[in-house]
Amino acid sequence: QVLLVESEGGVVQPGGSLRLSCAASRFTFSNYAMHWIRQAPGKGLEWVAFIRYDGNDKYYGDSVKGRFTISRDNSKNTLYLQMNSLRPEDTAVYYCAKDPSSGPLMDVWGKGTTVTVSS
Partner 1 sequence: DIVMTQTPLSLSVTPGQPASISCKSSESPLHSDGKTYLYWYLQKAGQSPQFLIYEVSNRFSGVPDRFSGSGSGTDFTLKISRVEAEDVGVYYCMQTIQLPWTFGQGTKVEIK
- Which residues on adjacent β-strands are paired with residue 10? 115
Shortest Å distance, C-beta 99 to partner 1 = 10
Please, which residue, 46 or 84, has the CB nearer to partner 1?
46
Q: Residue 13 or residue 63: which is nearer to partner 1 going by CB?
A: 63
What's the burial of 26, exposed, middle or buried (CB within 10 Å: 0-12/13-18/19+)? exposed
Query: Closer to partner 1 at the Cβ: 18 or 33?
Result: 33
Binding to partner 1 (CB under 8 A) within 95-114 occurs at: 95, 102-112
Question: To the nearest whole angstrom, how small is the minimum distance from the Cβ of residue 64 to partner 1?
Answer: 10
**Which DSSP string do the residues of the chain spell out, in sequence order?**
--EEEEPP-EEE-TT--EEEEEEEESS-GGGS-EEEEEE-TT--EEEEEEE-TTS--EEE-TTTTTTEEEEEETTTTEEEEEE-S--GGG-EEEEEEE--SSSS---EE---EEEEE--
Which of 8, 62, 66, 119 binds partner 1 (CB under 8 A)? It is 62
Query: What is the x/- site pattern for partner 1, positions 22-61, by CB under 8 A?
Result: ---------------x------xxxx--x--------xxx
Binding site for partner 1 (CB under 8 A): 37, 44-47, 50, 59-62, 95, 102-112
